[in-house]
Amino acid sequence: MGTYSTAKKQERAVLVGVITPDETEEQEREYLDELAFLAETAGAQTIKMFMQKLQRPDSKTFVGTGKLQEIIEYVQAEEADMVIFDDELSPSQLRNLGREFKEVKILDRSNMILDIFASRAQTAQAKTQVELAQYQYLLPRLTRMWTHLERQRGGIGMRGPGESQIETDRRIILDKIALLKEKLEKIDKQNATQRKNRGELVRVALVGYTNVGKSTILNLLTKSEVFAENKLFATLDTTVRKMVIQNLPFLLSDTVGFIRKLPHHLIECFKSTLAEVREADILIHVADISHPNFEDHINTVNETLKELGARDKEMITVFNKIDAYKGEGDTTLSLDEFKSTWMAKHNSPAIFISAQNKVNIDNLRKEIYEKAKAIHLSRYPYDGLLYNMDYVVESDDQQE
């Protein structure tokens, strides 16, 4: 008797990007590499990347007619399962591409991020936020992304003023969006009460691009076991841990990672999750120094923080993964040269660590302690416990 494999077949994806005048081919290739990482995180295998230089994406089919035909022929020949575009597609682009590719799934960057968020959401809050974002994405695209949401049947006994199927689906989705917003408001009120119950402890939040090692740092500093892996958006729900350094207690939180081209409606839906960022006293901005485009990542995070109204907070910049640092491009700066260059350029201190190898972690603890202590004493100037207490730096080997 034959045996049958029950393993789910990995879907094969083709990626498509446009190189506009304000970006280089190298930058677009890096964006597509990130899109491939998103696809891999969602469970798909990238088999080919296509790029085309255009003034702007084609309003009808994203890429030009010739390039589109080339992609269609490749997809048919290789029997790819999906085509993923590195920007959010408009409803008309989605509709036109659907006609061209027929049975092949058409996805865009926003779609991929939403899919990953849906698979990662654990708490009621995160699940509600993702569902709300999915419905808001779906609403203008109903003509293409047909859904059977409680379809009304026609026939005997069902005749009347009625409405078209798409209007029915749109009304149902609008009702669901309203219900989800109500549910989120209730969850937000509960969370606000919890935050009040934590008292007036100093609050520190880890922020940064996705997959820079924030959860690993949280685990290291608080001796927790928060889930961490080398995939995008491994952390979706905000994790808060109480931490004590020397004689100073404070709260440390890990937040969802940011990413380029994060859908605006997703930022809106996740603003309640990111309340920890807005209400934090100190932000620890973690960057992956081993990534060739870490400066772009830093800019993306700063822009998102600005959108959240949290850009001007007390900040500690932390460069993680120094063990994997290889230098910058052709200049190949040593780590020491980069440190001095960065300090001179930005006129602000930074801490260089390896969370994986536990290098320089105690200097990070010291910096957090000094900043948290200053805020604590400004709130409680007569707290005698903190007077005349100096942070003693141990070697990482002794500490760990």
Mind listing the pLDDT tens digit for each residue in 181-193?
A: 888 888 878 777 7
Report whether 326 belongs to an annotated binding site: no
| Average pLDDT value for residue range 295-314 | 86
What is residue 234's predicted lDDT score, i.e. its pLDDT?
Answer: 53
CB 325 within 8 A of CB 364: no
| Average pLDDT value for residue range 260-289 | 79
CB 117 within 8 A of CB 152: no
Report whether 224 belongs to an annotated binding site: no
Give first-to-last CA distance, the chain, whole Å. Answer: 56
Report whether 354 belongs to an annotated binding site: yes
CB 145 within 8 A of CB 166: no
DSSP strand pairing (282-288 vs 202-208): parallel
Nearest-angstrom CA–CA distance, 95 and 98 = 5
Nearest-angstrom CA–CA distance, 317 and 364 = 10
Report whether 187 belongs to an annotated binding site: no
Report whether 127 belongs to an annotated binding site: no
Q: Work out the number of other CB atoms within 10 angstroms of the CB of residue 26.
A: 11
Considering only CA atoms, which of 84, 69, 62 is closest in space to residue 18? 62
Return the DSSP state at 62: B
Percent of the chain scoring above 70 in pLDDT: 78
| Average pLDDT value for residue range 29-41 | 89
Report whether 254 belongs to an annotated binding site: yes
CB 363 within 8 A of CB 326: no
Positive or negative, the Cα torsion across 67, 69, 75, 81?
positive
Report whether 392 belongs to an annotated binding site: no
* H or E stretch at 38: helix 25-42
Report whether 238 belongs to an annotated binding site: no
With cut-offs at 50, 70 and 90, classify the pLDDT of residue 330.
very low
Nearest-angstrom CA–CA distance, 311 and 261 = 18
What is residue 83's predicted lDDT score, i.e. its pLDDT?
Answer: 95
| pLDDT, mean over the chain | 80
What is residue 336's predicted lDDT score, i.e. its pLDDT?
Answer: 84
| Average pLDDT value for residue range 298-326 | 87
Report whether 214 belongs to an annotated binding site: yes
What is residue 359's predicted lDDT score, i.e. its pLDDT?
Answer: 92
Percent of the chain scoring above 90 in pLDDT: 26
Q: Order of strands, edge to edge, in the sheet holding 202-208?
A: 239-245, 248-254, 202-208, 282-288, 314-320, 350-352
| Average pLDDT value for residue range 348-373 | 90
Report whether 288 belongs to an annotated binding site: no
Report whether 235 belongs to an annotated binding site: yes
With cut-offs at 50, 70 and 90, classify the pLDDT of residue 9.
confident
With cut-offs at 50, 70 and 90, classify the pLDDT of residue 399.
very low
What is residue 127's predicted lDDT score, i.e. its pLDDT?
Answer: 83
Report whether 208 belongs to an annotated binding site: yes
* H or E stretch at 248: strand 248-254
Report whether 110 belongs to an annotated binding site: no
Residue 59 has pLDDT above 90, yes or no: yes
Report whether 290 belongs to an annotated binding site: no
Report whether 323 belongs to an annotated binding site: yes
DSSP strand pairing (44-53 vs 11-19): parallel
Residue 157 has pLDDT above 80, yes or no: no
Report whether 90 belongs to an annotated binding site: no
pTM across the whole model: 0.77
Pairs from 346-351 (Cβ < 8 Å, separation ≥ 24)? 346/317, 348/315, 348/317, 349/317, 350/317, 350/318, 350/319, 351/316, 351/317, 351/318, 351/319
Report whether 211 belongs to an annotated binding site: yes
With cut-offs at 50, 70 and 90, classify the pLDDT of residue 68.
very high
SS3 assignment, position 120: helix
Report whether 362 belongs to an annotated binding site: no
> What type of residue is 239?
T
